[in-house]
């Protein structure tokens, strides 16, 4: 088998390799071919042949399988549901705290007397807590 190794000296990477090959110590490396063989062998031994995939393997790795899409879809759904639960619990907690500490707010209409106050239509804390627990259990 015969192979040719050509370098383009206008390419900085090729020029660097050319400088290394020109500067080889002849006492250590008997030939430039042997140096290149040892360099390739070192690369294969240290990085493995598996790290040099064929073009077909590279092309296949670019595609996402249906199983991977389903897995990603389930992860996104789970994440969205978890965030929604946290948000609902936070809002209900805020509502519970607001009901306990709430002061009636009066919005006066110009036609009505300032002294009339609307009746309070606020649920009991136990009712709100029951609804919150129902929402939490419904999500599971």
Q: What is the mean predicted confidence (pLDDT) over 67-90?
A: 92
Residue 72 confidence (pLDDT): 94
Which residue do the tokens 């399988």 mark?
Answer: 65
Residue 7 confidence (pLDDT): 87
**What does the pLDDT look like over 36-68, one tens digit per residue?**
888 888 888 877 666 555 656 666 667 788 899
Residue 111 confidence (pLDDT): 55
**What does the pLDDT look like over 85-114, one tens digit per residue?**
999 888 888 877 776 655 555 555 555 555
Q: Which two tokens stand for residue 11?
A: 């390419």
Which residue do the tokens 């978890």 mark?
Answer: 82
Q: Which DSSP string corresponds to 81-94?
A: HHHHHHHHHHHHHH
What average pLDDT is seen over the chain? Answer: 76
């Amino acid at each position: 088998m015969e192979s040719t190794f050509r370098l383009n000296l206008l390419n900085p990477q090729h020029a660097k390799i050319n400088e290394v090959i020109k500067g080889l110590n002849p006492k250590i490396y008997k030939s430039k071919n042997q140096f290149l063989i040892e360099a390739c062998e070192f690369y294969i031994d240290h990085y493995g042949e598996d790290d040099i995939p064929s073009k077909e393997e590279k092309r296949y790795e670019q595609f996402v399988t249906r199983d991977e899409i389903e897995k990603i879809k389930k992860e996104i759904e789970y994440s969205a549901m978890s965030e929604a639960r946290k948000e609902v619990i936070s809002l209900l907690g805020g509502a519970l705290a607001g009901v306990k500490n709430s002061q009636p707010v009066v919005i006066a209409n110009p036609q009505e007397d300032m002294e009339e106050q609307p009746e309070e239509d606020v649920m009991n804390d136990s009712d709100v807590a029951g609804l919150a627990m129902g929402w939490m259990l419904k999500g599971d």
